[in-house]
Amino acid sequence: MSLRINDIAPDFTAETTHGPVSFHEWIGDGWAVLFSHPKNFTPVCTTELGTMAGLEGEFKKRNVKIIGISVDPVADHAKWQGDIKTATGHLVQYPLIGDKDLKVAKLYDMLPAGAGETSEGRTPADNATVRSVYVIGPDRKIKLVLTYPMTTGRNFDEILRAIDSMQLTAKHQVATPANWKQGEDVIITAAVSNEDAIKRFGAYETILPYLRKTKQPTG
């Protein structure tokens, strides 16, 4: 059965470049991003992991931990990090899971159940479904799922934007419109009456009976 938003993220233990990790314990009381890549020493993946390394400080500002995964062994992750630094200028300091027995990849629907039991001999084409992103909240529930094709590198700025939205809307009864960015107007949800909207948000704009906009709440 495929994982859906608001499902509990499956827990697991795995070897990483930072040593053994128990996933739910590692998340702690914050947010987490688990993102996978098809194979080490490949071009798109190299740019992606370097980009995430460059953005790690932005994730930390939002109380978000990041952890990468592929079906390559941990030792290969360590060897690859020099190439990532050369290509992107960023050193990977977040943990990378070595999922050589494919357990985590299958647990998170990154590979089909019939993919075998080991990463040995696998090519990037074999791992075509493994370019996924899971954003997980402090309640251990899945908040966002994205899966990309082999040839399309991910836009990690979009993942930060989505996290900004999810963290904001978890605190206030608002939603964010298309292409919303931090600091822009937000939508008042239908659960808030007009009277309550004035008390909560002050002035607001009614565009349609079901579409009301207001300034982004603070705090």
Give which of 182, 167, 180, 217 is closest to 63, Cα–Cα.
167
DSSP-assigned states of every residue in 68-108: EEESS-HHHHHHHHHHHHHHHS----S-EEE-TT-HHHHHT
In this predicted model, what pLDDT tens digit does every residue of 101-146 receive, in sequence order?
999 999 999 987 667 777 777 777 777 668 899 999 999 999 999 9
CA angle, residues 100, 102, 104, in degrees to nearest 5: 110
Domain covering 13-153, topology: Glutaredoxin (3.40.30)
- pLDDT at position 195, please? 95
pLDDT > 90? residue 82: yes
Higher pLDDT, 168 or 219: 168
**Segments making up each domain of the chain, as ranges:** 13-153, 172-214
Gap between the Cα atoms of 193 and 111, Å rounded: 45
Q: CA–CA separation, 112 vs 134, rounded Å?
A: 17
CATH class (in words) of the domain with range 172-214 = alpha beta
Structure confidence by residue, pLDDT tens digits, 2-26 = 899 999 999 999 999 999 999 999 9
**Residue 154: C-alpha distances to residues 53, 100, 138, 142, 181 (Å):** 14, 23, 24, 19, 18
pLDDT digits (tens, 9 = 90+) for 186-196: 999 999 999 99
Q: Compute how many other C-beta atoms are within 10 angstroms of the C-beta atom of residue 36.
A: 25
Q: Where are the beta strands (DSSP E) in the chain?
A: 13-16, 19-22, 31-36, 64-70, 96-98, 132-136, 142-147, 174-175, 186-188, 205-208, 211-214
| Average pLDDT along the chain | 94
Q: Which of 40-54, 111-125, 151-165 has the lowest mean pLDDT?
A: 111-125
Residue-level pLDDT at 189: 97
What positions carry a catalytic annotation? 45
Binned at pLDDT 50, 70 and 90, residue 1 comes out as low
